[in-house]
Amino acid sequence: MAQWDALVDAALARLASRSLLRATRPIALAPPPAPPETFPGPGPWDRAAVEIRLDRATLNEWLAEGSEASGQEEEVGEKLILFSGNDYMGLSSHPAIRGAAMKAAKEYGMGPRGSALICGYTTYHKLVEESLAALKKKEDCLLCPTGFSANMAVMTALGNISSLLAVGRKPAENERIAVFSDALNHASIIDGIRLVERQQEVVAFVYKHCDMSHLDHLFLFSMDGDFSPFPELVKLRRKYGFLLVIDDAHGTLVCGENGGGAPELFECENDIDISVGTLSKAAGCQGGFIACSTRWKRLIQSRGRSFIFSTALPVPVVASVHAALYVSREEKWRRSVVWRHVQYFASLTKLNITSPIISIVVGSEEAALRAGRHMLRSGFHATPIRPPTVANNSQCFSFFRRHHKAGGCTEAVAP
């Protein structure tokens, strides 16, 4: 990947010559307390991650949606099993996560409020970045307010390479970076690509979902719950030397022996150049991150607009993330529970299920709403997934209770 290193170094040199390189300067806070208590199995607090209540008015409104029986009240229990949340390992209700947030809030309130480059970055943020870099086997990491902003920051920084090296003019088409994106990539990746494409900084190509033959041809996912074909992607990366960027939002902490995500599961961590993820799913908290090399971090924090112009995460949230990462390392049984549930659901339904997101396509919007009402009456909170999240006539249910999408959305980027 020497070619990419040279491109990034040239872009960084250009920024330095214009005094536009930016760096975070952590505000010192007292270090977190001793490692929190962990447990050998589920506790009563885990129920809070899978059981919820809806008030009567909300239940009736939901049951009436798309129904001819609108306005008629039904006898439905207010207590529901949550099958549509992202808290895959139940960490949001863990005593360690609660305690870390409470202690930090008591000592610091929300912490200094501002963007990370101004005053919102603290030693707590730095500690979490170091933990995530170690988890993802990367040199460095950049903590972002959300997973959406993390993907946007990567794409805008990537596009800026062309502009920086063109020096005072729009880059010619043969100078732009080519981005190859899976057809079912997340909206944050799509929006980031569209933005830099409109600015004439990249040329975008969309390949059919998980179709490596199509991707290979171009060189000469979302809520489906399937794995990205990592072995094939790695082979193509070695063949063409492209930058491999993945969004492992649903795999982080759940896939792999140590929770390193889909790259750890497929034993290809060293072949991933940039790993984007979220802390609002398996970590049970909030935020996003970009695990990468130090040179890429310097570029992204200097040119990634969604990072630069966003307020940093509050200290209690960051403290809870730090605790969640520790609990995930110590309570490995939680990962085993996820996969046992996948196997059980597969045996129960006889469906061909290979990951902890189970999507059942029911067709029209009317059919999805009707199925949603049936699930609600049966005591399950399972929200129909409708356009624009999915295409017309592919409305579905994606079951997330302690399940996740065990693959990453992928981007292959070529200079």
Whether residue 76 sits in one domain with residue 203: no
Q: How far apart are CA 194 and CA 186, in angstroms?
A: 13
CATH code: domain of residue 395:
3.90.1150.10
Q: What is the pLDDT of residues 321-374, one digit of tens each?
A: 999 999 999 999 999 999 998 899 889 888 888 777 777 888 788 888 888 888
SS3 342: helix
What integer best gives the mean pLDDT of the chain?
A: 86
Q: What is the pLDDT of residues 265-300, one digit of tens each?
A: 999 999 999 999 999 999 999 999 999 999 999 999
Q: Where are the beta strands (DSSP E) in 145-260?
A: 177-182, 202-207, 243-247
Tell me whether the omega of the peptide bond preceding residue 388 falls within 30 degrees of 0, making it cis: yes
Whether residue 190 sits in one domain with residue 111: yes
Whether residue 368 sits in one domain with residue 272: no
Q: Among residues of the chain, what percentage have pLDDT more than 90?
A: 53
**How confident is the model at residue 394, as a pLDDT?**
62
Asked if pLDDT for residue 180 goes beyond 70, the answer is yes
Asked if pLDDT for residue 98 goes beyond 70, the answer is yes
Let me know if residue 229 belongs to a domain.
yes
Model's pTM, two decimal places? Answer: 0.89
Whether residue 197 sits in one domain with residue 285: yes
Average pLDDT for residues 135-150, to the nearest whole number? 97
The answer to which of 51-60, 88-97, 102-111, 129-138 has the lowest mean pLDDT is 51-60
Average pLDDT for residues 154-172, to the nearest whole number? 89
Q: How far apart are CA 164 and CA 184, in angstroms?
A: 30
Let me know if residue 39 belongs to a domain.
no
Structure tokens belonging to residue 37: 């208590």
Sequence-separated contacts (24+) of 268-274 with Cβ below 8 Å? 268/230, 268/231, 268/234, 269/136, 269/137, 270/137, 271/234, 271/237, 271/238, 271/244, 272/136, 272/244, 272/245, 272/246, 273/1, 273/4, 273/243, 273/244, 273/245, 274/154, 274/243, 274/244, 274/245, 274/246
Looking at the structure of the chain, the number of domains it has is 2
Whether residue 174 sits in one domain with residue 68: no
The one-character DSSP state at 168 is S
Neighbours of 236 (CB within 10 A): 18
Let me know if residue 38 belongs to a domain.
no
SS3 337: helix
Whether residue 137 sits in one domain with residue 200: yes
Whether residue 165 sits in one domain with residue 301: yes
Q: How far apart are CA 207 and CA 414, in angstroms?
A: 14
Structure tokens belonging to residue 155: 């794409």
Angle between helices 56-64 and 365-377 (to 10 degrees): 150
Whether residue 256 sits in one domain with residue 395: no
Asked if pLDDT for residue 404 goes beyond 60, the answer is no
SS3 350: coil
- Exposure string of 246-261, with b = 16+ CB inside 10 Å and e = fewer, is bbbbbbbbbbbeebbb
Evaluate whether 196 touches 156 at the Cβ level (below 8 Å). Answer: yes
Structure tokens belonging to residue 184: 């079912």
Domain span holding position 78: 52-92+333-399
SS3 content of the chain, % helix, strand, coil (to 5): 45, 15, 40
- What lies within 8 Å, CB to CB, of 350 at 6+ separation is none
Let me know if residue 362 belongs to a domain.
yes
pLDDT tier for residue 414 given thresholds of 50, 70 and 90: very low
Whether residue 9 sits in one domain with residue 138: yes
**How confident is the model at residue 397, as a pLDDT?**
58
Angle between helices 294-303 and 147-166 (to 10 degrees): 90
Closest residue by Cα to residue 383 from 27, 82, 161: 82
Average pLDDT for residues 147-162, to the nearest whole number? 93
CATH code: domain of residue 150:
3.40.640.10
Angle between helices 123-135 and 315-330 (to 10 degrees): 30
Whether residue 322 sits in one domain with residue 224: yes
Whether residue 306 sits in one domain with residue 294: yes
Phi, psi of 317 (to 5 degrees): -65, -45
Whether residue 326 sits in one domain with residue 347: no
The one-character DSSP state at 401 is T
